[in-house]
Amino acid sequence: MRNAIIYTVFFGGAINMNKKVSAVILAMLMLIMTACGATDNGNTGQGSSTESNTGNATPAMDTSLEVAAENGEETELTKNLPESQEPFVPDGVERTVIGYDGRIKVTDVDTYPFRAIAYMRMHFRCGCNKEGTGFMVGDDIMLTAGHCLCCPDHHQTVDYMTLYFGYVSDNDYFYKYDGKITYWYGTDFTEGYGMNWDYGYIKLDEDVGQYTGYYGIRAMSDEELEEELLYVAGYKWGELKYDYGPVSVNNEYVITYLMDTQPGNSGSPVSTYDNYVVAINVAENDNNNFGRRITYDLLNKILSLR
């Protein structure tokens, strides 16, 4: 994968002590963890600080597999990869059955699959502060919208971010992560806003998915998508809600739907009822909402990060 963006911030993942007794065990584990992978000229460390280390990371788009993978061609990164990934639920974690009752507030945010969804607070290098949604699709891999990683107004990348899982308030959440991230995105929006490439994926420096669980991911055909009833769940101004409904295929990269979304839902999972993500919520207007499809190209990129 060429031109990966690498960014380092202080390590601060921790289970809320009021939420889980197992926090003591996790704290012991984190004491022996060390930062891994390539780093920039910033520092890595351990603690609760959310202050950033900007370092000398170079923003760039991830386009290395677009043509080959979309044409069904194999590369060293994509060959022998599975066609989908199964969801994962940690042992002992309660599962929630998604109902058919319209857009509602989620009160059981620490049950699966909702605990695998993150409330994101991002600070960009241009000075903008934004909120969004991301979701786990592996032990240390998260998906979100591209504009949650690169400001579409100023074309500047994220400087640092804090992720809250099972978020109710700043003092009430299941898990918080503000550690090192390595991330990729499909466009820097210098040629205008394009939903076709409005995706982003993040590799964390910790196996957060082992605590939160994670979604499965699947690339669906046009026919399969239009036969499914899907749901979208995300954080609107820090409050987790979901809605469900059918979708229509716009093109090979984008689906449309009437499911209710609001600012803050950018990066939300668009998922089947058995928790396979098939698109990322990226935009809305007065008539429709839009999701960037999980194509085989994007699926291969994600799975190659394992």
Per-residue pLDDT reduced to its tens digit, 235-293: 988 899 888 899 999 999 999 998 765 666 899 999 999 999 999 999 887 778 899 99
The pLDDT of residue 190: 87
Same domain, 206 and 123: yes
Query: Considering only CA atoms, which of 188, 156, 158, 151 is closest in space to residue 63?
Result: 188
Same domain, 292 and 203: no
Same domain, 158 and 191: yes
Same domain, 268 and 161: no
Per residue in 126-185, pLDDT tens?
A: 999 999 999 999 999 999 999 999 999 999 999 999 999 999 999 999 999 999 999 999
Same domain, 58 and 96: no
The pLDDT of residue 172: 96
Question: Which among 61-65, 81-85, 96-100, 247-251 has the top mean pLDDT?
Answer: 247-251
The pLDDT of residue 63: 36
The pLDDT of residue 36: 34
Using the 3D structure, point to which of 179, 212, 245 is the last residue of a domain: 212
User: Across residues 197-219, what is the average pLDDT?
Assistant: 96
For the ranges 26-35, 50-59, 274-283, which has the lowest average pLDDT? 50-59
CATH number, domain at 267? Answer: 2.40.10.10
Same domain, 180 and 59: yes
Same domain, 159 and 272: no
The pLDDT of residue 13: 46
Same domain, 42 and 156: yes
Question: Which among 16-30, 94-108, 156-170 has the top mean pLDDT?
Answer: 156-170
Q: Is 287 or 195 the better-scoring residue by pLDDT?
A: 195
In the chain, how many domains are there? 2
Same domain, 150 and 270: no
pLDDT at 96 over 50: no
Listed as own residue / partner, the contacts of 220-226 with beta carbons closer than 8 Å and 24 or more positions apart are 220/278, 220/293, 220/294, 222/249, 225/249, 225/255, 225/278, 225/293
The pLDDT of residue 210: 97
pTM over 0.75: no
Strand-strand pairing, 181-185 and 200-204:
antiparallel
Same domain, 77 and 116: no
Using the 3D structure, point to which of 157, 180, 212 is the last residue of a domain: 212
pLDDT at 24 over 60: no
Same domain, 9 and 133: yes
Backbone angles phi, psi at 97, to 5 degrees: -90, 120
Using the 3D structure, point to which of 181, 212, 243 is the last residue of a domain: 212
* Structural domain boundaries enclosing 13: 5-64+111-212
Same domain, 261 and 121: no
* CA angle at 38 for the pair 37 and 42, rounded to the nearest 5°: 120
